[in-house]
Amino acid sequence: MPHISFQEAIDAALAFDFQAVGSRQVARSLERETLSLEDLGALLSPAAAENLEDLAARSRDLTLRHFGLNVTLFTPLYLANHCVNHCLYCGFSALGDIRRGALTESDVDQELAAIEVTGLEDVLLLTGDSRARSGPEYIFRCAALAAKRLKKVGLEVYPLSIREYSRARDAGVDYVCVYQETYEPNLYAHVHLKGPKRNYAWRLAAPERALAAGVRGVGLGALLGLGDFRRDVLALGWHALYLSRLHPQAEISFSVPRLRPAPGHVVFQQSPVSEAELAQIIMALRIFMPWAGISLSTRERPFFRDHLVGLGATRLSAGVRTSVGGHSGPDHGEEQFFKSDPRNVPQVCQALAQMGFQAVFNDYIRL
Amino acid sequence: MTGVLPGDELALAGRLFGSRLILGSGKHPIERLTEVVEAGGVEIVTLALRRANLNGPGDILDHLPPGRAILPNTSGARTAKEALTLARLARELGCGDLIKIEVIADSRTLLPDNEETLQAVALLSEDGFAPLAYMTPDPVMGRKMEQAGAAAVMPLGAPIGSNRGLTTKEMVKLMVECLQVPVIVDAGLGRPSQACEAMELGVAAVMVNTAVATSDDPPAMAKAFALAVQAGRAAYLAGLGPVGRPQASSPLTGFLWEEKGSQDPSSQEKF
């Protein structure tokens, strides 16, 4: 593949003309073994939406070959929801008048114990963006507590420096999720009014810093519905491919969150993404990068999540609380978004079994 | 259904096995494993330690018919040292000393890192293990693995999960010719006929996972692979005849006798 720089690829993704793609190009792109940026663009186009069944067949085949009949389960644990950013779409935004809280370390351990009882082994620790109220040292201590009890620990917090990611890794963090929300710089500036999150470039380079610090995996994502989802997903795919070339050993996974109603001060008018469009996104990403994990959160309803397993999704959250704490007792702060899938772990396992899939709690050893 | 020919068991690190079909467990729902293993007459089942929950819920040993061997692997390791850590863990869990080394540092292709694998073979065999080396086929590297103490080498037929068959046939054939230790084709076999082809070359065994796990009827597919493996082995032992070269319609050396009056080479004029 010809060499183009990361920024050139992102620019090309944002300038891609999806309307110009015809059904012949979609068919050609579906045939290819190694897809280019243009091919991913073709699979995300309106023309490809007309051929969704063909995308599904290819996506299913690749998903089964690479992941078998396995679906990994994880659960998020919100440590704190203090936030200094003014983001127009988020329930945690500093603009919102919501109940704020942070778990003490003893709360965290209690929450982890409650998660442990469910059999889950993969936890994703989250905070809002407040270095004063939930600073890096606090996060590292919480990660160490999680690493003691569970087999895999992820971090979804504000972007850290290389040195901090390296500390996080030493504390037991196995993967880091930093979602760019939107790859379009103008829109990014428009929806992030105030706070450290305004720094687009610092956030964009965060997954690369995490991998450079020796973290084993990264999760990338765009908040679907914020801007033109086609452009954002094309840029997202290219971001992932760039990282996998730079760090071939890295485990890369995608998240495809759709904007959800949330408490607090949420003013942004979204451009809604339909379920059919989300299915297209998941299948296009699977075909583009067959080896990458794809997570589907409880933002989606059970029926949709269950059917996307085997068509591309390989990681599901279960037993989810999107408020601060809430796994072991009453929560300590309000939710980030209202979820659509309230099922507990046995219910998710049962649904997967009915689809012929196996819920995997653990496929990882911290080394 | 072992179907083993008398005296033709698979010998691995001093143990004898009646079946030359090794089954990967990673892509199957664990509850289905018993049925698949029995249908295929499988005696060795691989297990990723990172997935293992031995002595806990979902313990693979609860889903294996008696008398089957577990072959733990070190998947998840990116370096020789990490492979050693995992191997020691396997030993602590009571999996014995037979272990498949997987050292992979490329998430896209999942191709093994031969250099780190070689180091892992040396480290593990010094530590008393009988390591089986999953590797990209290369007879020269295979010989080094053997010298470093590999109990067997496991060249891939094609990238894992690709179901492409024996795309590395020439290299695998050379490995069979050059090495003393068993050569086991691992990864890439998508059809029983491809497993049969590998066995015809003289490989000691084949390993499959994806092709069985993702079939519509995994037990039936396991059986089909077992039959193909037996057929290929029997053909190898019988010795394949020369195949496929057509005879020229007129003899290529006929000109030697076509000159006037010289039908017999011994009567040809000598210069």
What's the token pair of residue B55? 């002595």
B77 contact residues in A (CB cutoff 8 A): 367
Contact state of B28 with A365 under an 8 Å Cβ cutoff: no
Does residue B79 fall inside a structural domain? yes
pLDDT digit string (tens) for A229-280?
Answer: 999 999 999 999 999 989 999 999 999 999 876 666 555 666 789 999 999 9
What residue ranges in B74-171 does DSSP mark as E strands?
Answer: 98-101, 130-135, 152-155
B58 contact residues in A (CB cutoff 8 A): 361
**Residue A77, pLDDT above cutoff 80:** yes
User: Does B82 lie at the interface with A, CB-CB under 8 angstroms?
Assistant: yes
d(CA A250, CA B105): 8
pLDDT at residue A97 in the model: 76
Task: Give the number of beta-carbon pairs within 8 Å between A and B.
Answer: 70
Residue appearing with tokens 């094309």: A234
**Residue A2, pLDDT above cutoff 60:** no
- Helix (H) or strand (E) run with residue A123 in it: strand A122-126
User: Does B27 lie at the interface with A, CB-CB under 8 angstroms?
Assistant: yes
Q: Closest residue of B to A358, CA-based?
A: B29
Out of A65, A248, A363, closest to residue B51 by CB: A363
ipTM of the complex model: 0.72
Contact state of B162 with A119 under an 8 Å Cβ cutoff: no
Long-range contacts of A272-279 (CB under 8 A, 24+ apart): A272/A225, A273/A224, A273/A225, A273/A229, A275/A300, A275/A304, A276/A49, A276/A52, A277/A49, A277/A229, A278/A224, A278/A304, A279/A52, A279/A56, A279/A308, A279/A311
User: Does A356 lie at the interface with B, CB-CB under 8 angstroms?
Assistant: yes
**DSSP letter string over B105-121?**
--TTT--B-HHHHHHHH
B25 contact residues in A (CB cutoff 8 A): none
Average pLDDT over residues B76-93: 90
To the nearest 10 degrees (0 to 180), the angle between helices A23-31 and A52-67 is: 10
pLDDT at residue B260 in the model: 62
**Residue A349, pLDDT above cutoff 80:** yes
**Residue B68, pLDDT above cutoff 90:** no
**Residue B55, pLDDT above cutoff 70:** no
Asked if B100 is an active-site residue, the reply is yes
Residue appearing with tokens 């082995």: B233
Does residue B133 fall inside a structural domain? yes
Instruction: For residue A20, give the nearest of A52, A51, A49, A47 by alpha carbon.
Output: A47
Strand partners, A152: A122
d(CA B214, CA B163): 11
Average pLDDT over residues A333-344: 78
pLDDT at residue A262 in the model: 65
* Overall residue count recorded for chain B in this entry: 271
d(CA A149, CA A183): 36
Out of B57, B89, B107, closest to residue A119 by CB: B57
User: Does B91 lie at the interface with A, CB-CB under 8 angstroms?
Assistant: no
**Where residue B271 falls among pLDDT bands split at 50, 70, 90?**
very low
Q: Are A313 and A275 in contact (CB under 8 A)?
A: no
pLDDT at residue A264 in the model: 61
**Residue A334, pLDDT above cutoff 60:** yes
B76 contact residues in A (CB cutoff 8 A): 364-365, 367
Contact state of A67 with B27 under an 8 Å Cβ cutoff: yes
A252 contact residues in B (CB cutoff 8 A): 107
User: Does A194 lie at the interface with B, CB-CB under 8 angstroms?
Assistant: no
**Residue B268, pLDDT above cutoff 60:** no
- Neighbouring CB atoms inside 10 A of B262's CB total 13
Closest approach of chain A CAs to the CA of B30, in angstroms?
8
d(CA A172, CA B158): 35
Among candidate residues B27, B81, B100, B144, the one labeled active-site is: B100
pLDDT at residue A184 in the model: 93
Does residue B163 fall inside a structural domain? yes
Contact state of B213 with A68 under an 8 Å Cβ cutoff: yes
Q: Closest residue of A to B24, CA-based?
A: A68
Average pLDDT over residues A46-69: 93
What pairing do the DSSP bridges indicate for beta strands A251-255 and A217-221?
A: parallel
- Neighbouring CB atoms inside 10 A of B247's CB total 7
> pTM for the full model?
0.84
**Residue B191, pLDDT above cutoff 90:** yes
d(CA A357, CA A268): 38
Over pLDDT 70: what percentage of chain A? 96
pLDDT at residue B242 in the model: 64
Q: Are A103 and A58 in contact (CB under 8 A)?
A: no
CATH number for the domain spanning B46: value is 3.20.20.70
Out of A66, A356, A360, closest to residue B51 by CB: A360
B78 contact residues in A (CB cutoff 8 A): 249, 367
Tell me which residues of chain B, numbers 228 to 247, contact chain A at a CB-CB cutoff of 8 Å: none
B104 contact residues in A (CB cutoff 8 A): 249
**Residue A1, pLDDT above cutoff 90:** no
Instruction: For residue B214, give the nearest of B169, B156, B160 by alpha carbon.
Output: B160
**How many structural domains is chain B composed of?**
1
Q: Closest residue of B to A250, CA-based?
A: B107
d(CA A245, CA A41): 20
**Where residue A26 falls among pLDDT bands split at 50, 70, 90?**
very high
Query: Distance between terminal CA atoms of chain A?
Result: 33
Tell me which of A97-111, A166-180, B128-142 is least confident. Answer: A97-111
Average pLDDT over residues B79-85: 93
Q: Are A122 and A147 in contact (CB under 8 A)?
A: no
**DSSP letter string over A226-249?**
SS-HHHHHHHHHHHHHHHHHH-TT
Closest approach of chain A CAs to the CA of B159, in angstroms?
11
**Where residue B1 falls among pLDDT bands split at 50, 70, 90?**
very low
pLDDT digit string (tens) for B95-137?
Answer: 888 999 999 989 888 899 999 999 999 999 999 999 999 999 9
Q: Closest residue of B to A365, CA-based?
A: B50
**Where residue B32 falls among pLDDT bands split at 50, 70, 90?**
confident
pLDDT digit string (tens) for B6-24?
Answer: 788 999 988 899 999 999 8
What's the token pair of residue A202? 């610092």
Q: Closest residue of A to B188, CA-based?
A: A65
Domain that holds residue B143: 10-267
Q: Are A284 and A13 in contact (CB under 8 A)?
A: no
Q: Closest residue of B to A362, CA-based?
A: B51
pLDDT at residue A98 in the model: 79
B51 contact residues in A (CB cutoff 8 A): 360, 362-363
**Residue B194, pLDDT above cutoff 90:** yes
Q: Distances in Å between the alpha carbon of B23 and those of A267, B38, B109, B209?
A: 55, 11, 21, 6
Average pLDDT for chain A: 90
pLDDT at residue B95 in the model: 80
Tell me which residues of chain B, numbers 97 to 116, contact chain A at a CB-CB cutoff of 8 Å: 104-110
Does residue B2 fall inside a structural domain? no
d(CA B120, CA B127): 10
pLDDT digit string (tens) for B132-177?
Answer: 999 999 999 999 999 999 999 999 998 887 788 899 999 999 999 9
- Neighbouring CB atoms inside 10 A of B239's CB total 6
Domain spanning A72-356: CATH 3.20.20.70: yes
Average pLDDT over residues A88-109: 84
Contact state of B209 with A367 under an 8 Å Cβ cutoff: no
Q: Closest residue of A to B212, CA-based?
A: A68
**Residue B269, pLDDT above cutoff 60:** no
User: Does A67 lie at the interface with B, CB-CB under 8 angstroms?
Assistant: yes
SS3 A234: helix
Closest approach of chain B CAs to the CA of A335, in angstroms?
33
B108 contact residues in A (CB cutoff 8 A): 244, 248, 291
Average pLDDT over residues B207-235: 93
What's the token pair of residue A133? 């109220």
pLDDT digit string (tens) for A61-70?
Answer: 999 988 988 9
pLDDT at residue B262 in the model: 54
Contact state of A251 with B107 under an 8 Å Cβ cutoff: yes
Contact state of A367 with B77 under an 8 Å Cβ cutoff: yes
